[in-house]
A and B are shown apart, each in its own frame.
Chain A
Amino acid sequence: MNMLTTIVKDTRLKEKTCKQFLPDKSGHFGKYGGKFVPETLMPALEQLEKEYLKAKEDPKFNEELKYYLEQYVGRPSPLYYAKRLTEKLSGAKIYLKREDLNHTGAHKINNTMGQVLLAIRMGKERIIAETGAGQHGVATATAAAMFGMSCDVYMGEEDIRRQSLNVFKMKLLGANVVPVKTGSKTLKDATNEALRDWMSSVMYTHYIIGSVVGPHPYPMMVRDFQIVIGQEVKEQIQKAEGQLPDYIIACVGGGSNAIGIFYPFIEDKDVKLIGVEAGGLGFDVGQHAASLSRGEKGVLHGSLSYVLQDDDGQTSQVHSISAGLDYPGVGPEHSYLKDTGRAEYVSVTDDEAVDAFNLCTRLEGIIPALEASHAIAYTVKFAPTIDKDKIIVINISGSGDKDSFEVAKKMGIEL
């Protein structure tokens, strides 16, 4: 069965079983989402939505995407039973969804392959992207290199410092990395700059947003390209355990790996969905990036969602040790899942994430990304509190190779 046909079937099924098929035509998840962008971009978003919906129904597009996901990305990624971690925590049975084993080392490439194929269909010759940790930037530069397209990646100066390895990789791949010096010099500012570039280059440029954020149709489209993660888990866990998991735990920055693994289980009410945000150094303003846990409704980067902002509507400074979670907003569908109670959102601190990073590395021989380490860190606290016959799936959204320098620094070791 091909990838997006499965999605189409899934969503049609949802239309039948659940009246609130989301997003609605104007791109809203309940009250969240929408399109809050300058008029200049509206026609491009309309075109993108039209072309995407056509592609989604086109068997040729689906076959092509399936081919690249299997032959190039290496899908399906394994669902691995983490025996030693399970024994150590002496609680629920823990499985790891190994998105770190994808080509380029993270889930991000599921989305960039889909969007580059779409850009080619639309006749756009240039790709731009924003990146935080650099994983999305590398995944975009990789897809662009493979299809011979020109590629500019916007990246905050602070992130360039934290993620020099990924910066070098992007350059090797032929992408132009544009340093962003405005504001906090991180992901949010890179997103501003990419949107601004798109305003003046929209005729020949496709903007690949890396998460389920931004104006409609991005939150829907990026989700659709990521739900392959959850679809595989559903099959794999049935095969391994003959049942669905009791808990799915994923980290949430913008929220693409989380929505990708959650979405196919949304109708399975017995599966509890837990998103883990960056608690950073604590809950003072500027010390964390937990938009769902601590934010309020607001508009950022083209959609209405939970946002960390002050009482005037100005975006707050945020912090996380993980560049990929260092973002003051979150995908609008997560806001909807929070309000409806379908998913629960919690947070862990920088220190807890680093401890989990070390624990997973030592016990399982798997070096997880600092982003995914947040999901592991919550599991470390949570698993011992539940029965041994329960099953937890953690999404290991990416590999921690890129974080070696940051973790060494935190441990006081110079590389």
Chain B
Amino acid sequence: MNRIDAKFNELRERNEPAFIPFITAGDPSLDATRKLIVEFDRKGSDMIELGVPYSDPIADGPVIQSSYYRALSGGVKLSNILELVKDVRKKSEIPIVSMISQSILFKNGCENFVKSAVKAGFDGATIPDLPVEEAEEIMEAGKKEGFKIICFIAPTTTSHRMELIVKKSQGFLYYISVVGITGVRSELSADITENIQNIKKSTNLPVALGFGISTPEQARMAGKVADGVIVGSAIMREIEKYSSQGDDVLVDKVGKFVGKLVNSTKNRN
């Protein structure tokens, strides 16, 4: 069974939400990324979303964009990232989903990408600039190799589109909480809860919540309504903060931050 499915089955039995940290491959270095993934696993993360840096990301905020910029300035290529995951697999079986732009995917070819990603140890991909209408080729390629293509639902998604997306998405659904959780609010806005409940009525797929979750308290709130909680920018900000202090300090500090997020996410009381 695909590692993503296995993980969500296991969590479902324990009635526990997944914690999914996002991390940019190659910022500050490929070596640091490898160590961080292993540490995130050790701290109880359930899955990793690994960002493939792209020069012109339009779906990401400024924090992730500048981490992409740093990684690309360091010369990171897709082939290096595949090697990195191969290395991680020597130490960890944590499910790894790549976040990759359609620009890079198209250039590499869908089938070619899926084959090399599976071979390296990736379990699936999110493609933030690929709407479901244009996703047929990658979906087909993914199915052949048991590689999950995870689709997005946004607060702006109409019910007609939602039907289409829940039918196509594999592994889980990624709900973008761009409106709702902001700042230090301790309760989720009612529409997020309602929207997630709505999605869950039409599918058995797990629904993970991401975008804009930055504090342990927000992660706890998100974990109460969603099957998974994704934190990206807040972790990348921590990485930026400690990146110049050597890998040991970096891994320790960011690992602790992720540990806190894991614990609050899992606290459904």
* B9 contacts chain A at the CB level, 8 A cutoff: no
A16-24, A29-37, A397-405: which one contacts chain B? A29-37
Which A residues are CB-close (under 8 A) to B154? 38-40, 42-43
Closest chain A CB from B75 CB (angstroms): 11
Q: Are A300 and B178 in contact (CB-based, < 8 A)? A: no
Task: State whether A42 touches B58 (Cβ < 8 A).
Answer: no
Interface residues on B, range: 35 or more
Return the chain B residue nearest A314 by Cβ: B55
Nearest A residue (CB) for B130? A36
Chain A residues with CB under 8 Å of B59's CB are 38, 40, 199
* B61 surroundings in chain A (CB, below 8 A): 196
Given A37-B129, A302-B129, CB of A312 within 8 Å of CB of B107 = yes
Contact of A26 among B103, B133, B153 (CB under 8 A): B133
Q: Which residues on the A side are within 8 Å of B131 (C-beta)? A: 35-39, 42
Mark each residue of chain B from 114 to 137: 1 if its CB lies under 8 Å from any CB of chain A, else 0. 000000000000001111111000
**Nearest residue in A to B79 (C-beta to C-beta)?**
A312
B130 contact set on A, CB distance < 8 A? 36
| Contacting pair B103 A38 (CB below 8 A) | no
Is A323 close to B, CB under 8 A?
no
Residue in chain A with minimal CB distance to B129: A36
Residues of B within 8 A of A46 (CB): 158
A314 near B54: Cβ-Cβ < 8 Å: yes
Contact of B165 with A by CB under 8 A: yes
Contacting B103 at CB < 8 Å: which of A37, A39, A300? A300
| Contact across chains for A38 and B78 when beta carbons are under 8 A apart | no
- A297: nearest residue on chain B (CB-CB)? B106
Q: How far is the CA of A299 from the CA of B161 in the complex (A)?
A: 23
Q: Write the nearest CB–CB distance from A384 to chain B, whole angstroms.
A: 41
- Chain A positions near chain B (C-beta within 8 angstroms): 26, 34-44, 46, 182-183, 188-189, 192, 195-196, 199-200, 202-203, 297-302, 304, 307, 309, 311-315
Task: Give the 5 A-B residue pairs with the shortest CB-CB distance, closest first.
Answer: A313-B107, A313-B104, A40-B154, A38-B59, A39-B152
CB pairs A–B below 8 angstroms (13 shown): A35-B133, A39-B131, A39-B153, A42-B156, A182-B69, A188-B56, A189-B56, A192-B58, A299-B103, A302-B58, A304-B106, A313-B108, A314-B54
